[in-house]
Amino acid sequence: MKNRYLSLLTATLLSLALPALADRTPIPVDTPASFKAECASCHMAFPPSLLSADDWKKTMNQLDKHFGTDAAVDSKAAREIGSFLERNAGSGSRVAGAGNPPRITKTARFERKHHEIPNKYWRDPRIKSAANCEACHRDASKGSFSERDILIPELRD
Amino acid sequence: MRTLITLSVSAALLLCSLSASAETPQQIRQLYTTEAATQQAGFTASAKRGDAFFRQRFAINDKMPSCSSCHTDSPLIPGKHAVTGKDIKPLAPQAHAERLTDPAKVEKWFGRNCKEVVGRLCTPAEKADFVAFLSEVR
């Protein structure tokens, strides 16, 4: 009987841990339309869990100087997007180190996952920018960053 | 008094219909043409001038010297953001039916992109020409 409980517990814990192992950062169900309209035109809608709440706050507070672009939004959209990002933000060491302005590509998790990618790939015209997740991660806009789905075949192994 | 009420009711109705229903490229062109005509009597929009504007090198921004830096030489084909590499759907309604149907969206993107690429806000005349070009290009 005790064993059965143990295996049940193991199975439950495993099922909780698996989504993280599979590199899924699903787009939250409470995503407001303004997030897609304002934050997914020039770049992909980045999953909120890829930065900490503090770093999203910093990002939202300097939208008028957003990586060389004035990406300011009206105050209603700013409140809506800001609270959505903070509500669904990541936490812990994985999202540490983003810097200021915060960059997803500087976080510990991004660096750990991409350290083996040679420089020539980042310069590849098909990739262009490390912010262009979809260049390699086919289903990135759906929150899937699984290595199985990498688009540029040379990068798959 | 009665006229005033009728007037304000019809104005309110007009505003409602403007914000609730999707516009056509023709209506958006007319909005900018009307605005331009208040500054320049007898103004009519020109697709040819819009075409030239689309290709003009403003060279304010070295990554995006002209509209075509991201939108390619033809508004009928998909573009790519010059910095992030994100795909951009074609600008012409002929190739992407959603284009030029939401006046607020059109105005927002003129606002952002004119500042960034042209280095200033675009005039109503430039916007009218640009919309004329996008709607007529085949």
pLDDT tens-digit series, residues B88-128: 999 999 999 999 999 999 999 999 999 999 999 999 999 99
> Is the confidence at residue A56, as pLDDT, over 60?
yes
Share of chain A above pLDDT 70, in %: 84
**3-class SS of residue A139:** coil
**Tens digits of residue pLDDT in A69-106:** 899 999 999 999 999 999 999 999 999 999 999 999 99
Give the model's pLDDT for residue B62: 92
> Per the structure block, which two tokens stand in for B2?
């009665």
Residues 6+ away with beta carbon under 8 Å from B32: B45, B124, B125, B127, B128, B131
Instruction: Provide the shortest C-alpha distance from residue B115 to chain A (in Å).
Output: 8
Q: Does A135 touch chain B (CB under 8 A)?
A: yes
Instruction: Write down the H helix ranges in A40-141.
Output: 53-61, 75-87, 108-114, 119-123
Given a contact cutoff of 8 angstroms between Cβ atoms, the answer to whether B80 and A127 are in contact is: no
β-bridge partners, B103: none
d(CA B71, CA A41): 13
Task: Please report the ipTM that was assigned to this predicted complex.
Answer: 0.75
**Mean per-residue pLDDT, B67-85:** 95
Give the model's pLDDT for residue A25: 80
Residue among B84, B112, B116 minimizing CB distance to A131: B84
pTM of this structure? 0.78
Do residue B85 and residue A68 have CB atoms under 8 angstroms apart? no
List of chain B residues whose C-beta atoms are within 8 Å of the C-beta of residue A37: 105
**Tens digits of residue pLDDT in B4-62:** 555 555 544 444 444 445 789 999 999 999 999 999 999 999 999 999 999 999 999 99
> Is the confidence at residue A21, as pLDDT, over 90?
no
Chain A, 37-76: which have a CB under 8 Å from a chain B CB? Answer: 37, 41-44, 67-71
